[in-house]
């Protein structure tokens, strides 16, 4: 097995910039790949962390309803969780405060005791070590430059594989088109930012989330307990202007800017979802006061001055269906007898990574 990585080390993009949350699997409809992989993926990755002595915190998650509409969505999430075999329950204000004393619960909340968190960088380092021990030929600074018939071009020369698996994240749709796939799909990057708190370790016992808008794949501004016991709030989901638009003009690409601006304009003018509202709401979260203000609705005794440190930005490689002008909600893979292309591996992709990888490998002939 040869693994080509365009950067100087694994995890420079989505995997290494992940929140580290191990989702339980109650957000997703039972007929989805996300539901199929999330519960088992959380258990498998937790077991891996324990076996490799990696950071793991089993803190659980509260999802808080604040009005009648959100109450109804809470019941939907409960039903989805039960259909997916996930341990979830509805708790009242008293029980919620016993779980997380600072949670601002005025109605009901969903409690997910099996949600956890780990350190993605530590997981990636351990998996890289394990892969090398198993004989994987990891070639760094080996960007995919294109396809020549059966060969793949890299800066170090041509490779002629028996089978190609494309897990290129932000570039996955581009690679797939060289093989005749992703004809109706394109990656639309969204930038995610967290604000890190300076509160003492242990200030929060559990993750605290709002009830999400289940029409889109984003979960809203929430409190995430880190593997080290700290806390952060976020993330944003701001439409980025090019594929690796992390900071300022870093990795600027004029061609990508034109391509993504055209796609965003199409969505603004008439998407299958309210892209205009979503984009404008998310852009506001660039302001610290807006981010902290939204988070403050979820908890008591929040000191805004404790949340001033922006974390390292991440980019979500969100797939868009160009025919329906809608965000692709589930994982998506295309391929044939010579290649498989992971086109949409957004959240909870990190949680689902082990069973998701097995599913990808199951499609490789003769493996």
Judged on CB neighbours under 10 Å (0-12, 13-18, 19+), 312 is exposed
Q: Is the peptide bond before 59 cis (omega within 30 degrees of 0)?
A: no
Query: Does residue 16 carry a pLDDT above 70?
Result: yes
pLDDT in tens, 213-266: 998 889 999 999 999 999 999 999 999 999 999 999 989 999 999 999 999 998
In a domain, 228, yes or no: yes
CATH number at residue 102: 3.30.9.10
In a domain, 131, yes or no: yes
The Cα 277–Cα 207 span in angstroms is: 27
Q: How many residues does the chain have?
A: 367
In a domain, 312, yes or no: yes
In a domain, 164, yes or no: yes
In a domain, 162, yes or no: yes
Helix (H, G, I), strand (E, B) or coil at 118: strand
The pLDDT value recorded for residue 235 is 96
Evaluate whether 295 touches 223 at the Cβ level (below 8 Å). yes
In a domain, 188, yes or no: yes
356 band by pLDDT with thresholds 50, 70 and 90: very high
> What pTM, to 2 d.p., does this model score?
0.95
pLDDT in tens, 85-135: 999 999 999 999 999 999 999 889 999 999 999 999 999 999 999 999 999
| Average pLDDT along the chain | 96
In a domain, 165, yes or no: yes
Quote the domain boundaries for residue 174: 2-362
Query: Does residue 272 carry a pLDDT above 80?
Result: no
268 band by pLDDT with thresholds 50, 70 and 90: confident
State how many domains the chain has: 1
In a domain, 367, yes or no: no
């Amino acid at each position: 097995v040869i693994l080509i990585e365009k950067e100087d080390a694994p995890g420079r993009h989505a995997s290494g910039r992940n929140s580290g949350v191990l989702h339980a699997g109650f957000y997703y409809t039972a007929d989805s790949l996300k539901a199929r992989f999330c519960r088992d993926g959380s258990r498998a990755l937790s077991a891996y962390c324990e076996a490799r002595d990696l950071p793991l915190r089993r803190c659980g998650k509260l999802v808080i309803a604040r009005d009648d509409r959100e109450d109804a969505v809470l019941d939907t999430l409960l039903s989805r969780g039960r259909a997916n075999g996930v341990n979830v329950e509805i708790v009242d204000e008293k029980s919620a405060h016993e779980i997380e004393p600072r949670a601002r619960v005025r109605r009901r909340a969903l409690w997910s005791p099996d949600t956890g968190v780990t350190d993605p960088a530590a997981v990636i380092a351990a998996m890289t070590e394990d892969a090398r021990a198993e004989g994987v030929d990891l070639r760094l600074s080996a960007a995919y430059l294109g396809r020549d018939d059966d060969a793949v071009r890299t800066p170090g020369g041509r490779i002629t594989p028996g089978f190609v698996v494309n897990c290129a994240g932000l570039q996955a749709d581009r690679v797939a088109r060289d093989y005749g796939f992703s004809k109706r799909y394109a990656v639309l990057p969204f930038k995610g930012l967290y604000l890190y708190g300076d509160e003492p370790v242990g200030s929060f016992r559990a993750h605290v989330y709002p009830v999400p808008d289940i029409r889109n794949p984003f979960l809203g501004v929430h409190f995430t307990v880190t593997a080290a016991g700290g806390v952060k709030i976020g993330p944003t989901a701001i439409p980025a202007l090019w594929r690796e638009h992390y900071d300022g003009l870093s990795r600027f690409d004029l061609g990508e800017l034109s391509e993504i601006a055209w796609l965003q304009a199409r969505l603004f003018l008439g998407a299958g979802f309210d892209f205009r509202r979503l984009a404008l709401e998310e852009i506001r979260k660039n302001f610290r006061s807006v981010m902290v203000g939204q988070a403050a609705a979820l908890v008591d005794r929040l000191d805004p001055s404790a949340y001033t440190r922006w974390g390292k930005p991440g980019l979500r490689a969100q797939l868009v269906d160009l025919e329906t002008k809608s965000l692709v909600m589930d994982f998506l893979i295309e391929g044939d007898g010579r290649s498989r292309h992971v086109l949409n591996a957004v959240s909870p992709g990190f949680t689902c990574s082990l069973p998701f990888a097995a599913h990808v490998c199951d499609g490789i002939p003769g493996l």
